[in-house]
Structures are given as structure tokens and as C-alpha cells.
Amino acid sequence: MTDAVAALRAEIVRIGQLMHEHDFVDGASGNLSARIGPDRILATPSGLAKGFLQPDQLLVLDMQGMPVEPHPAGLKPTSELLMHLEAYRRRPDVNAVIHAHPIVSVALSIAGVSLAECVIPEAVVILGLVPTTPYATPSSEENQKAISELVVSHDAIILKNHGTLTVGKDLWRAYMKLETLEHTAKTIALAKLLGGSPSLPPQQVEKLLQTRRELGFARPGDEEEFCLACGVCHPPGDHRAPKEWTDSIAHDEAELVKRIAEQVRRQLQSAR
């Protein structure tokens, strides 16, 4: 075992402990993985509590999920392995995947409250708009398909009624996004209990998106998503309504012009 792999094993164990301490997992739920090369990953086993793992219990797998080294006796890969492998296949830039069950994020998905909105500045910058998948059976190909397209353009995803998926260039980045996601969920849940959670105005969101780009958090599709969700549909400094609004207005104006023209035509005919 190389020093780098040994360090990665220790890091997975430490992050598993943090996930347990912060109620991001319970029992044997949740799973973590990290790349250790172009064609292999290090992953947590199924059935073990993530807060009490030992470094030698982690499994080395290839990108088809097959063992590269013999597994410790009685251990098998996480049941959510398909979801992890899909994230790696779809995102060559991703080197770590974390699946967790944070309480408030999941509760909001059950209640039908979306986190794909512009409310918390830090969340806009770090996470962007967080999508929620349709419900999919955990530990299944259905769950793999649910995240397949979304993970291309998002670093944080909520799995409806189930949990979350966060990815990053390394384990700490993936874990910090998990913390940001649950902190955001708690804040929005409390704000709604107190009477609402108004979105930030487009002018302020545009400033945050500039910071998001400068810090390297931007993902493909950001412009379209923030246009639809937050009204940022313009070059900086030129604040317009979202395209669907302007299209609707243009359509209504065209119909009004037609009706006026028709009325004028009829009046001219009757005056002859």
C-alpha cells in the first residue's frame, strides 16, 4: 500500500466520523468513495457504521465495481456503488463521492420544498441550484439513472425521500459541500417556519454568480438554470425578465396589435 492510499483510507475514516457526529448518517447508512487512479476507486463496505470504520475495511474496486484486491472477510461493496460509479463516469473531474442522509435536506424533499432557489448567498456560490431527483428505489439502477444527467451539471443533489449526493475534486471538497447543503436546508426550513424565504433580487444574484465563476464553482448549464429560477437572464448590468416572461409579453403585445388593427379595419369598412 502506498503512502497516498494509506492517507486516503485515513481520510475516509475521518470523514465518516464527521458524518456520524453531525447526524448526516445513521446506523450503517451512507457511503463514501474516492479515486486512487484512473481505473480504480477506494469505497466503503456495505453494512458497517460509517462513524466507526477502520482503514483496512475499505475496498479497492475497478470502474466496473469488481474487486482489485481481495476483500476483508465477509465484506462487500456499498449497495449504492452504481451511483458512485455513474458519477465518476459522467464527471472525469470528480475524485470523490459522498452519499449521506442529512435530516433537514431529506425532510424538505419529503415536504416538497425545493433548494433550487437563490436565497442563501454562500449556497448560490458554492452549490448553485440544488436539484431534487424524482423518488427512486435506493441501491438500484433506478437510483443510478436518477442522478445520471443531474450530476453532469451539479455538485450537490437531493435524492427525494432518501438522501443526498455530493461530489468534489477530493473528499474534503465533497464533504464541505455536504455541510453547506445541510446548513442551507436548515436555514431555509427555519425561514419558512418564520413566514417565508424570499429570493435574492437578480442584481444581487448576478454578483454572486460572478464570484461563483471566479472561484471555479460554475458548472455547465448555470446560465439557463439561474435564468429560469432566479431571473438572471441578461448580460451584467442589463437586467431583464426571464426569457419565458419576455416571450409571453411579446406574444401578448402582438395579439393586442392584431386586435386593434382588426378593430380599426372594421371601423373603416363601416364608415364607407
Q: What is d(CA 268, CA 89) in angstroms, rounded to the nearest whole number? A: 68
Residue length of the chain: 272
Q: What is d(CA 193, CA 110) in angstroms, rounded to the nearest whole number? A: 16
| Identified catalytic residue from 11, 69, 80, 262 | 80
> Nearest to residue 21, comparing CAs of 55, 43, 58, 50?
50
Q: What is d(CA 172, CA 149) in angstroms, rounded to the nearest whole number? A: 24
Residue 48 contacts residue 27 (beta carbons within 8 Å): no
The DSSP secondary structure of 83-124, one letter per residue, reads HHHHHHHH-TT--EEEEE--HHHHHHHHHT--B-SS--HHHH
Q: What is d(CA 62, CA 38) in angstroms, rounded to the nearest whole number? A: 9
Q: Does the active-site annotation cover 11?
A: no
The catalytic site residues sit at 80
